[in-house]
């Protein structure tokens, strides 16, 4: 897989996961860390759309390849490196929206789940097929599902391995908005433009940083940092 970045004229960039037709991940490290950091911190960029190349978002790992990889001693480390990329997206300095068409399965779904928003075409499909291979999702799925879907829905999806359509995914809270495939990208762009268009880059980054602090810092420290960020924004520093 390669990832292809296109800066947007409207401060909203696009990052494409590209390994058509199904955009499968050959390695857990689906992008170079430095490249992803650069994309997320692209000058002036206030939001990012993450999507698959062509008809699908991503079908995740290629099962045959995964079986072989599982036998190599370094695979656990590779998996951790891949998860570092997910953490970069999850704690991005700007909102990241996953634009989902077609299949969004396994590690593909885990990538979508670490984004802040998911907009899906009505024909898209979601699921964790890992259990069918005698495995479990190993790319943060169980963790990222928590707080997005109810625990009951999470257990159901993770253990049954069943595939669900966009409407059900929306009902479970996994998808924020469902629209016809033809209107999907325009919908997402309009939504993000509405969200960040009138905000300064400083505001967007300060809000995102504070939200990230809420996840990783003790409460008192996160609160203290919020005040600092507020003063920076107020002074326009």
Partner 1 sequence: MGSEGRPSPAFPGVAPHSGEGELRLVVEPDGGIARLVLDAPPRNEMGRDFFGRLDALVGTLKDLPARGLVVHGAGRHFSSGADVGALKAGLVDAQPVLDGQALLAATRCFQALAELPYPTVAAVGGCCLGSGLELALACRWRVAAANAVFALPETTFDLMPGCGGTVRLPLLAGRGRAVELLLSGRLVDAAEALEIGLVDAVVGRRELLDAARRLVERVAA
The rounded distance, in Å, linking the Cα atoms of 162 and 157 is 6
Q: How far is the CB of 193 from partner 1 (least distance, A)?
A: 11
Nearer to partner 1, 85 or 149 (CB): 149
Torsion angle, CA of 101/207/192/111, rounded to 10 degrees?
-10
CB of 95 to partner 1, least distance (A): 5
Query: Do 33 and 84 meet the contact criterion of CB atoms below 8 Å apart?
Result: yes
CB-wise, 168 or 176, nearer to partner 1?
176
Residue 214: which region, alpha, beta or left (left: phi > 0; alpha: psi -120 to 50)? Answer: alpha
Shortest Å, Cβ 98 to partner 1:
10
What SS3 state is found at 4?
Answer: strand
Q: Which is nearer to partner 1, 67 or 224 (CB)?
A: 224
**C-beta closer to partner 1: residue 61 or 145:** 145
Q: How far is the CB of 76 from partner 1 (least distance, A)?
A: 27
Which residues are at the interface with partner 1 (CB under 8 A)? 95, 116-117, 147-148, 176, 194-196, 198-200, 203-204, 206-208, 210-211, 213-215, 219-220, 222-224, 226-231, 233-235
């Amino acid at each position: 897989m390669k990832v292809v970045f296109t800066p947007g004229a409207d401060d909203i960039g696009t990052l494409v996961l590209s390994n058509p037709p199904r955009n499968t991940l050959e390695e857990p490290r689906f992008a170079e860390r430095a490249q992803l950091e650069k994309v997320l911190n692209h000058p002036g960029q206030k939001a990012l759309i993450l999507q698959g190349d062509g008809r699908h978002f991503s079908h995740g790992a290629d099962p045959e390849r995964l079986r072989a990889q599982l036998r190599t001693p370094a695979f656990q480390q590779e998996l951790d490196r891949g998860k570092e990329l997910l953490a970069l997206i999850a704690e991005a300095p700007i909102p990241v929206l996953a634009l989902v068409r077609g299949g969004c399965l396994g590690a593909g779904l885990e990538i979508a789940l670490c984004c802040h928003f998911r907009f899906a075409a009505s024909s898209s499909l979601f699921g964790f097929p890992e259990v069918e291979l005698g495995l479990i999702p190993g790319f943060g799925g169980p963790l990222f599902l928590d707080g997005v879907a109810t625990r009951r829905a999470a257990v159901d999806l993770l253990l049954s391995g069943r595939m669900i359509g966009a409407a059900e995914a929306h009902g479970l809270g996994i998808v924020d908005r469902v629209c016809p495939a033809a209107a999907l990208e325009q919908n997402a762009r309009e939504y993000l433009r509405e969200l960040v268009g009138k905000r300064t880059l400083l505001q967007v980054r300060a809000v995102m940083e504070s939200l990230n602090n809420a996840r990783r810092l003790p409460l008192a420290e996160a609160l203290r940092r919020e005040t600092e960020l507020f003063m920076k924004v107020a002074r326009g520093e």
